[in-house]
Amino acid sequence: MDFGDTDPSAWRGGEPQPPAPASEVTFSRRELDRILRLYGRKVAAGEWRDYAIDFLKDRAVFSVFRRASEVPIYRIEKNPKLGRRQGAYSVISATGHIVRRGHELDRVLGALDRSLRVVAG
Protein backbone atom coordinates (compact mmCIF):
# COMPACT_ATOMS: atom_id res chain seq x y z
CA MET A 1 0.00 0.00 0.00
CA ASP A 2 1.42 3.35 -1.01
CA PHE A 3 0.89 6.57 0.93
CA GLY A 4 -1.26 7.84 -1.95
CA ASP A 5 -3.71 4.96 -1.38
CA THR A 6 -4.71 6.06 2.14
CA ASP A 7 -7.18 8.67 3.25
CA PRO A 8 -5.26 11.72 4.57
CA SER A 9 -7.66 12.06 7.50
CA ALA A 10 -6.65 8.57 8.67
CA TRP A 11 -2.96 9.55 9.03
CA ARG A 12 -1.94 9.68 12.69
CA GLY A 13 1.83 9.47 12.35
CA GLY A 14 3.98 6.37 12.23
CA GLU A 15 2.84 3.63 9.92
CA PRO A 16 -0.49 4.14 8.13
CA GLN A 17 -3.21 2.05 9.74
CA PRO A 18 -5.77 0.18 7.65
CA PRO A 19 -9.27 1.54 8.17
CA ALA A 20 -11.48 -0.44 10.51
CA PRO A 21 -14.23 -2.38 8.80
CA ALA A 22 -17.44 -0.38 8.92
CA SER A 23 -19.52 -3.51 9.30
CA GLU A 24 -18.31 -4.40 12.81
CA VAL A 25 -20.54 -3.79 15.82
CA THR A 26 -18.67 -2.18 18.72
CA PHE A 27 -19.36 -0.92 22.21
CA SER A 28 -19.38 2.85 22.59
CA ARG A 29 -17.02 4.48 25.08
CA ARG A 30 -19.88 4.98 27.57
CA GLU A 31 -21.01 1.35 27.25
CA LEU A 32 -17.50 0.01 27.66
CA ASP A 33 -16.90 2.29 30.66
CA ARG A 34 -20.02 0.94 32.38
CA ILE A 35 -19.05 -2.68 31.65
CA LEU A 36 -15.46 -2.18 32.85
CA ARG A 37 -16.61 -0.52 36.09
CA LEU A 38 -18.73 -3.60 36.86
CA TYR A 39 -15.82 -5.84 35.85
CA GLY A 40 -13.46 -3.95 38.19
CA ARG A 41 -15.80 -4.38 41.15
CA LYS A 42 -16.15 -8.11 40.48
CA VAL A 43 -12.36 -8.54 40.15
CA ALA A 44 -11.87 -6.70 43.44
CA ALA A 45 -14.39 -9.05 45.04
CA GLY A 46 -12.46 -12.05 43.66
CA GLU A 47 -15.35 -13.32 41.52
CA TRP A 48 -13.96 -12.61 38.04
CA ARG A 49 -10.40 -12.83 36.75
CA ASP A 50 -10.24 -12.34 32.99
CA TYR A 51 -12.21 -10.97 30.06
CA ALA A 52 -12.28 -10.94 26.27
CA ILE A 53 -13.89 -8.54 23.82
CA ASP A 54 -15.03 -9.62 20.36
CA PHE A 55 -16.34 -7.25 17.70
CA LEU A 56 -18.25 -9.28 15.14
CA LYS A 57 -20.26 -8.31 12.10
CA ASP A 58 -23.62 -8.78 13.82
CA ARG A 59 -22.81 -8.21 17.52
CA ALA A 60 -20.23 -7.11 20.09
CA VAL A 61 -19.43 -9.52 22.91
CA PHE A 62 -17.74 -8.92 26.28
CA SER A 63 -16.95 -12.34 27.82
CA VAL A 64 -16.15 -12.75 31.52
CA PHE A 65 -14.04 -15.62 32.83
CA ARG A 66 -13.43 -17.00 36.29
CA ARG A 67 -10.19 -18.54 34.98
CA ALA A 68 -8.52 -17.79 31.66
CA SER A 69 -8.60 -21.45 30.58
CA GLU A 70 -12.35 -21.92 31.12
CA VAL A 71 -15.41 -21.05 29.10
CA PRO A 72 -16.90 -17.63 29.88
CA ILE A 73 -19.22 -17.57 32.88
CA TYR A 74 -21.12 -14.62 31.36
CA ARG A 75 -21.31 -12.93 27.99
CA ILE A 76 -22.54 -9.36 27.70
CA GLU A 77 -23.77 -8.92 24.12
CA LYS A 78 -24.85 -5.96 22.05
CA ASN A 79 -26.91 -7.00 19.03
CA PRO A 80 -28.36 -3.97 17.20
CA LYS A 81 -30.68 -6.18 15.12
CA LEU A 82 -32.69 -6.93 18.26
CA GLY A 83 -32.76 -3.28 19.36
CA ARG A 84 -36.37 -2.63 18.38
CA ARG A 85 -37.72 -5.94 19.62
CA GLN A 86 -36.32 -7.39 22.86
CA GLY A 87 -33.51 -4.88 23.26
CA ALA A 88 -29.99 -4.73 21.91
CA TYR A 89 -28.28 -5.75 25.18
CA SER A 90 -28.28 -9.15 26.84
CA VAL A 91 -26.43 -11.08 29.53
CA ILE A 92 -26.01 -14.76 28.73
CA SER A 93 -24.78 -17.41 31.19
CA ALA A 94 -22.28 -20.20 30.47
CA THR A 95 -25.13 -22.60 29.76
CA GLY A 96 -26.61 -20.29 27.11
CA HIS A 97 -29.48 -19.12 29.32
CA ILE A 98 -30.40 -15.47 28.76
CA VAL A 99 -30.19 -13.95 32.24
CA ARG A 100 -31.58 -10.57 31.17
CA ARG A 101 -32.26 -8.71 27.95
CA GLY A 102 -33.27 -5.10 27.47
CA HIS A 103 -32.98 -1.74 25.76
CA GLU A 104 -30.80 -0.10 28.46
CA LEU A 105 -27.35 -1.42 29.31
CA ASP A 106 -27.46 -0.33 32.96
CA ARG A 107 -30.65 -2.30 33.62
CA VAL A 108 -29.28 -5.39 31.89
CA LEU A 109 -26.02 -5.23 33.85
CA GLY A 110 -28.06 -4.96 37.04
CA ALA A 111 -28.60 -8.72 36.80
CA LEU A 112 -24.86 -9.19 37.43
CA ASP A 113 -24.40 -6.31 39.87
CA ARG A 114 -26.27 -7.67 42.84
CA SER A 115 -24.78 -5.77 45.73
CA LEU A 116 -26.06 -5.80 49.29
CA ARG A 117 -28.34 -2.91 50.10
CA VAL A 118 -29.30 -1.70 53.52
CA VAL A 119 -33.00 -1.13 54.03
CA ALA A 120 -33.64 1.78 56.38
CA GLY A 121 -36.72 1.41 58.44
Based on the structure, what is the number of domains in the chain? 1
pLDDT at site 23: 76
Q: Is residue 24 part of a domain?
A: no
The better pLDDT of the pair 3, 56 is held by 56
What is the number of alpha carbons within 13 Å of residue 35 lying toward its C-beta? 26
Does any domain span residue 87? yes
Answer whether residue 65 is part of any domain.
yes
Show Cβ contacts of residue 32 under 8 Å, excluding neighbours closer than 6 positions: 62
In a domain, 20, yes or no: no
pTM to 2 decimal places: 0.73
* Per-residue pLDDT at 89 exceeds 70: yes
> What is the domain range of residue 45?
29-109
Residue 120's pLDDT band, with cuts at 50, 70 and 90, is low
